[in-house]
């Protein structure tokens, strides 16, 4: 495994069974993923597509039915990997009878952080997530936005290398969403790896370097956000200081070649459209799935194009 | 006080290596090893069915290797963090209400608990029973819902994704709830002690007359005979388990609070054997048809006798009464069984003698009237006379070289019986502090509480709250009935195993009558029962013997709880915590936290 691979899954599968061992749902089907150091990776999918299952498998909260997941070079079920991981769950699953300081202190102790360091970090984090005024209030009195913020703070208490965020912006107002996105970008700038899952497409588009789209437990799409959103049959020409004659000439040239000038703007579609088309496509032709991305490259070598989705199985 | 099994010396209890009885430590090891092998085998079988033998082996190896690695990563700081949250959780759930309930109970208890006979016994058994049930109940409620609640609210997700070992979670929880429970017990204990000492205290008045009146006034349902000692000290004589001292101030008499009401006798027990009516030594006396075979009986007017052999009698055993010389204080409890009523107010008469073991040298019989089920004191002075009216010295002549002395008790009235058990006659060595005795009784309750917490925490690693509660409650109930369970399992209790009992009920078959025809059905029944009984035996051997863990009787009857017993209980509690924590670790570590 390359040094800069932070998360790797090989044919990771999860089947939920009932008490008698009867199969209920195949939540994840042979997922192959590599996530690189320093990138913001988004897992997308409609509800029930296996995003959260993937995150839980990576955290060791679930055990894979088949395949394996390596996180920071260790099996996902190994507790030691948690030393360098931060996790913000879907909803803030924290002790509601503790206040902000106590919460962070508790999680700090779980990392065996010595008292002085702990105090310092708690102070810094509380200021960072703007809970200074509410640091002595019990979490039960917190608003949704505040709960998310304390959730993020507890995920960062150990200054993790890898941060897993489950629906980080869900339930937040636009301002809260903006703040959360800024924090995510800030974490990336600090060189940390962020894995987030979401169904809020705009958020993913704003912060993610690469995304994987899951549907019904299968990987449908994987690649760099900008590449995936590129429209292949449209050529975009940007130029500065063209005279009106020149523009007319260009128009003529396009017309001569039976082309049609659309606009001078940046021709991208929205992520939402891509997402919906993939879901529609998947429903129309079940079983079609993406094979493991062969030319996947770390973000450092950006610029290389990613393979478009190919058909398999 | 009833003591069915004599208390074993600590070292014997812990380490004895005998075919009949394994020391507690070996028993613990055996249980752990068997449990480990069993889980390994079952795990491998299930793994092989699901994933094939290679993968099953690999997984089993990983589980065991993980366990050993994580053992060294248990961190006090993490345990303490989890313990603190457990405590905060408990306090948030208003456990302190329990204290209020308890105090309320005590406030009104005084109205209903009135007795003339041995009030200390009643009060002590009341407060100790109340504390132990309330304490166990709260410990159960607190600890059994904690982990399942974390699973339900998914708080556990944020905890196990930290470098927390499953062992930290289990131990932290046990520690946290134990601390909360200890706090509760401390408060309850304090309130109880206060209640008992306040409830027992009373005083009498003595009418100021020229002559000292014969008796004090009546108070708390009794009065005392007054007596002036040689040194002028006035004593309100021993009555209802206590006495008062009286001081004369001018014309008035001041009566002190009761003395000697709460006691902690330190007894020296002997070994009991019986002589039958011909005077031949037998293991047991006569059965008078009581189902409970604890005591056996000797017939009056015959040579039947109960003989206790005491060990280690020397000068220190005697109590020094100053000028009056030294005495051997023997206390005896007699159960009287009358085969004819006679005059019910005339007590049955008996004799008690000291005897040198291995010889015929006996003291002159001392007569006593047996007051049923009451402690009778017999003080033997150092110089006595033997049956031939020759003077004998207690230590020189009656005690053998190896420090042994026999006490022989016989019943005089024809066709009346005296019933005895080993613990019914003892040498009263000294009195220990009743306060510390009370503390020791609370240590026993504490141990019970810790065991319950450990069971509950371990059970709740895989079970949901209500199911874990059922599990723990059945564990406790079976624990209280452990002896019976063991008796059924080992055929010591009449009536056979569960299936046989099921057959006997609808067929109205007596427990002791045997099945006459041995057809196939009976054989099948026996076969199934054998299997069930083996299972029951296994189960019974790991159950905590809650009945034996309770020392409330010691305090109620006024006996000192030996430190040996306290130590045994502490070790037992520790063993349960360790064993259950290990089981809990594997359960929690190898379950999926998320759903």
Measured between CB atoms, does B467 come within 8 Å of chain A?
A: no
- The mean pLDDT of B324-350, rounded to a whole number, is 86
Model confidence at B121: pLDDT above 90: no
Rounded CA-CA distance B465/B458 in Å is 12
- Residue in chain B closest to A165 (alpha carbons) equals B158
Question: What was the pLDDT predicted at A268?
Answer: 61
Measured between CB atoms, does A14 come within 8 Å of chain B?
A: no
A107's tokens: 């999680």
Question: What was the pLDDT predicted at A100?
Answer: 93
Question: What was the pLDDT predicted at B550?
Answer: 86
Measured between CB atoms, does A110 come within 8 Å of chain B?
A: yes
Query: What is the sign, positive or negative, of the torsion defined by CA atoms of A106, A109, A113, A119?
Result: positive
Question: What was the pLDDT predicted at A312?
Answer: 39
Please, are residues B454 and B577 in contact by the beta-carbon 8 Å criterion?
A: yes
- The mean pLDDT of B115-119, rounded to a whole number, is 73
Measured between CB atoms, does A298 come within 8 Å of chain B?
A: no
Model confidence at B450: pLDDT above 60: yes
Cβ separation of A56 and B84 shorter than 8 Å? no
| Segments making up each domain of chain B, as ranges | 1-72, 75-198+443-589, 202-257, 266-431
Mean pLDDT by 10 residues, chain A (313 residues): 82 87 85 92 89 91 90 90 91 89 94 93 92 91 89 93 90 80 91 90 86 90 82 70 80 82 59 72 71 48 42 39
- The mean pLDDT of B556-560, rounded to a whole number, is 89
B439's tokens: 């503390």
pLDDT digits (tens, 9 = 90+) for B475-499: 999 998 998 888 888 888 887 888 8
Question: What was the pLDDT predicted at A264?
Answer: 53
Cβ separation of A60 and B161 shorter than 8 Å? yes
More confident residue, A269 or B437: B437
Cβ separation of B593 and A107 shorter than 8 Å? no
Local structure of B563: helix, strand or coil? helix
Distance of CA A309 to the CA centre of its chain: 19
Local structure of B427: helix, strand or coil? strand
Question: What was the pLDDT predicted at A302?
Answer: 41
pLDDT band of residue B8 (cuts 50, 70, 90) is: confident
Question: What was the pLDDT predicted at A118?
Answer: 94
Domain boundaries B266-431, CATH class: mainly beta
Cβ contacts below 8 Å, chain A against chain B, sum to: 77
For residue B111, which of B132, B126, B133 has the smallest C-alpha distance? B126
Q: What is the mean pLDDT of chain B?
A: 88
Tokens 């069971």 belong to residue: B455
Question: What was the pLDDT predicted at A163?
Answer: 94
A94's tokens: 């924290």
Task: Please state, for a pLDDT cut of 70, what percent of chain B lies above it.
Answer: 100
Cβ separation of A61 and B160 shorter than 8 Å? yes
pLDDT band of residue B437 (cuts 50, 70, 90) is: very high
A108's tokens: 């700090």
- Residue in chain B closest to A152 (alpha carbons) equals B158
Local structure of B403: helix, strand or coil? coil
Tokens 């029951």 belong to residue: B536
Which of A79, A80, A96, A113 has the most B C-beta neighbours within 10 Å, making it the best mutation to test the interface with B?
A79
Task: Please state, for a pLDDT cut of 90, what percent of chain B lies above it.
Answer: 35
Measured between CB atoms, does B183 come within 8 Å of chain A?
A: no
- The H or E element that residue B193 is part of is helix B166-200
Chain A residues closer than 8 Å to B59 by CB: none
Question: What was the pLDDT predicted at A306?
Answer: 42
- The mean pLDDT of B588-592, rounded to a whole number, is 89
* Burial (Cβ within 10 Å: 0-12, 13-18, ≥19) of residue A155: buried
Question: What was the pLDDT predicted at A269?
Answer: 63
Instruction: Mention every residue, 6+ apart, whose C-beta is less than 8 A from residue A277.
Output: none
B77, B84, B158 ranked by CB distance to A112: nearest: B77
Ramachandran region, residue A220 (left: φ > 0; alpha: ψ -120 to 50; beta: rest): alpha
Cβ separation of A95 and B154 shorter than 8 Å? no
Which DSSP letter does residue B82 get?
Answer: H
């Amino acid at each position: 495994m390359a040094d800069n691979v932070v998360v790797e899954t090989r044919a990771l599968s999860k089947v939920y069974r009932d008490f008698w061992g009867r199969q209920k749902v195949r939540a994840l089907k042979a997922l192959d993923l590599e996530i690189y150091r320093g990138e913001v990776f988004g897992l997308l999918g409609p509800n029930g597509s296996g995003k959260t299952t993937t995150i839980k498998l990576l955290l060791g909260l679930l055990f894979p039915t088949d395949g394996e997941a390596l996180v920071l070079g260790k099996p996902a079920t190994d507790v030691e990997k948690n030393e360098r991981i931060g996790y913000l769950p879907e909803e803030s699953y924290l002790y509601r009878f503790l206040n902000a300081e106590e919460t962070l202190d508790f999680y700090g102790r779980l990392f065996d952080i010595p008292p002085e360091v702990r105090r310092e970090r708690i102070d810094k984090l509380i200021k960072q997530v703007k809970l200074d005024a509410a640091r002595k209030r019990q979490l039960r009195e917190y608003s949704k936005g505040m709960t998310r913020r304390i959730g993020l703070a507890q995920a960062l208490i150990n200054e993790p290398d890898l941060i897993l965020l489950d629906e980080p912006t869900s339930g937040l107002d636009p301002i809260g969403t903006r703040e959360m996105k800024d924090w995510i970008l800030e974490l990336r700038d600090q060189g940390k790896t962020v894995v987030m899952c979401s169904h809020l497409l705009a958020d993913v588009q704003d912060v993610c370097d690469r995304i994987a789209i899951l549907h019904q437990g299968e990987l449908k799409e994987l690649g760099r956000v900008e590449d995936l959103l590129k429209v292949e049959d449209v050529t975009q020409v940007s130029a500065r200081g063209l005279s009106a004659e020149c523009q007319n000439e260009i128009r003529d040239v396009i017309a001569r070649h039976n082309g049609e000038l659309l606009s001078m703007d940046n021709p991208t579609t929205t992520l939402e459209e891509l997402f919906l088309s993939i879901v529609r496509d998947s429903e129309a032709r079940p079983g079609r799935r993406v094979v493991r991305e062969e030319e996947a490259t770390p973000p450092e070598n950006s610029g290389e194009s990613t393979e478009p989705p190919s058909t398999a199985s | 006080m009833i003591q069915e099994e004599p208390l074993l010396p600590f070292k014997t209890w812990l380490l004895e290596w005998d075919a009949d009885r394994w020391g507690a430590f070996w028993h613990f090891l055996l249980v752990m090893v068997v449990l480990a092998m069993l889980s390994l085998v079952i795990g491998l079988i299930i793994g092989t069915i699901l994933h094939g033998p290679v993968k099953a082996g690999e997984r089993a190896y990983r589980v065991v290797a993980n366990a050993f690695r994580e053992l060294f990563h248990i961190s006090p700081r993490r345990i303490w963090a989890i313990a603190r949250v457990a405590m905060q959780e408990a306090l948030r759930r208003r456990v302190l209400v329990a204290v209020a309930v308890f105090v309320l109970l005590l406030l009104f208890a005084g109205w209903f608990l009135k007795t003339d006979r041995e009030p200390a016994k009643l009060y002590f058994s009341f407060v100790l029973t109340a504390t132990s049930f309330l304490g166990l109940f709260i410990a159960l409620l607190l600890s059994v819902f904690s982990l399942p609640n974390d699973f339900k609210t998914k708080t556990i997700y944020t905890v196990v994704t930290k470098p927390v070992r499953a062992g930290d979670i289990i131990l932290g929880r046990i520690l946290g709830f134990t601390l909360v429970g200890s706090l509760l017990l401390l408060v309850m204990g304090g309130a109880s002690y206060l209640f008992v000492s306040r409830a027992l205290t009373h005083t009498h008045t003595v009418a100021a007359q020229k002559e000292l009146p014969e008796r004090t006034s009546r108070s708390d349902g009794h009065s005392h005979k007054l007596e002036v000692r040689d040194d002028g000290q006035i004593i309100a004589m021993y009555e209802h388990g206590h006495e008062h001292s009286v001081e004369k101030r001018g014309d008035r008499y001041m009566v002190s609070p009761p003395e000697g009401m709460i006691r902690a006798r330190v007894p020296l027990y002997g070994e009991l054997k019986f002589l039958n009516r011909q005077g031949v030594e037998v293991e047991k006396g006569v059965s008078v048809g009581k189902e409970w075979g604890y005591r056996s009986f000797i017939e009056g007017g015959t040579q039947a006798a109960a003989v206790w052999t005491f060990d280690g009698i020397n000068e220190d055993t005697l109590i020094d009464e100053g000028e009056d010389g030294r005495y051997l204080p023997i206390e005896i409890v007699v159960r009287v069984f009358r085969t004819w009523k006679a005059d019910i107010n005339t007590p049955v008469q008996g004799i008690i003698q000291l005897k040198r073991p291995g010889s015929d040298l006996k003291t002159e019989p001392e007569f006593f009237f047996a007051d049923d089920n009451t402690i009778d004191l017999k003080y033997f002075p150092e110089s006595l006379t033997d049956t031939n009216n020759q003077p004998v010295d207690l230590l020189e002549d009656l005690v053998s070289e190896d420090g042994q002395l026999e006490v022989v008790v016989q019943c005089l009235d024809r066709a009346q019986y005296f019933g005895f058990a080993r613990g019914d006659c003892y040498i009263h060595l000294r009195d220990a502090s009743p306060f510390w005795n009370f503390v020791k009784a609370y240590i026993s309750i504490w141990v019970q509480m810790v065991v319950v917490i450990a069971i509950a925490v371990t059970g709740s690693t895989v079970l949901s709250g209500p199911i874990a509660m059922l599990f723990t409650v059945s564990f406790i109930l079976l624990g209280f009935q452990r002896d019976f369970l063991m008796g059924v399992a080992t055929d010591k209790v009449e009536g056979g195993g569960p299936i046989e009992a099921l057959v006997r009920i609808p067929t109205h078959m007596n427990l002791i009558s045997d099945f006459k025809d041995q057809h196939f059905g009976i054989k099948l029944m026996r076969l199934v029962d054998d299997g069930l009984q083996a299972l029951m035996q296994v189960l019974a051997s790991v159950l905590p013997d809650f009945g034996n863990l309770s020392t409330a009787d010691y305090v109620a009857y006024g006996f000192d709880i030996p430190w040996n017993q306290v130590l045994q209980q502490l070790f037992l509690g520790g063993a349960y915590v360790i064993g259950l924590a290990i089981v809990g670790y594997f359960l929690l570590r190898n379950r999926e936290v998320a759903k």
